[in-house]
Every structure is written in structure tokens, then in C-alpha cells.
Structure 1
């Protein structure tokens, strides 16, 4: 499953690591947009197979942030 950005913004903080087991609803990254912090959460439980962004990177709505299997 791909975790995608729900809006454009900067990656303020990555809250998981590659290889980590996470639960549905757990924050994956926190975006900053218009001085607000927006958590992006996992829609399913699984293992983080890949992180596609780095802290400080800019993402657009729909960009893939992470892959969970």
C-alpha cells in the first residue's frame, strides 16, 4: 500500500523507520503547510518497506510518502 500526501507541504518530521511494524491509523509523517502541522497516517497495519521522502522535502498532493506491506 502506498501512503500518499493529502496536501502539498514540507515534510516536517518522519515518525517511522524503514522495517518498522506499524498499526492502522499510526502517523507516518507530519507535513507542515501554512504554519499548520498535518499528520499523514497509515490506512492499514504492516511493515514500512520504503520511505520515499526526507525531512525538509516538499511534497505535492498525491505524492507517495511511504510503502507499507
Structure 2
């Protein structure tokens, strides 16, 4: 897993300049080992737009920013 190792605010802004890149970074970390639903612990689902994941087991939609 790649973890951001910024040393200062300028490094942070360069690495994650906007909301979209921050959400992409969080999604990459959160689901790096595959999707696990926070409601039913199901592992089957699909990625939706806006860095959301839809669980096929319980129809829960979880965002990359949920519980982070």
C-alpha cells in the first residue's frame, strides 16, 4: 500500500491538489485489498462514479470517504 509521505504543505498540495485526487487516493487505500461492505461484510459489488462502491449483498452504497 502506498502511503502519502509529504513533508510539508507544499508537498501535500502537489501530491493531492484537489478533491478528486484526494478521493482517488482514499479509494485506492480503502479498497486496496478488495471491497468489503461496512454493513453486511459482503465482498461482491461494483465501483460507481464518484469513488463509491455498490454492494450486491445489501445494496449499500459506500463512498471512499466514509469512515476515513
Task: Specify which structure has the higher proportion of helix.
Answer: 2
Query: Relative contact order (C-alpha < 8 Å, sep 6+): which is higher?
Result: 1
Question: TM-score, normalized by length of structure 2?
Answer: 0.29
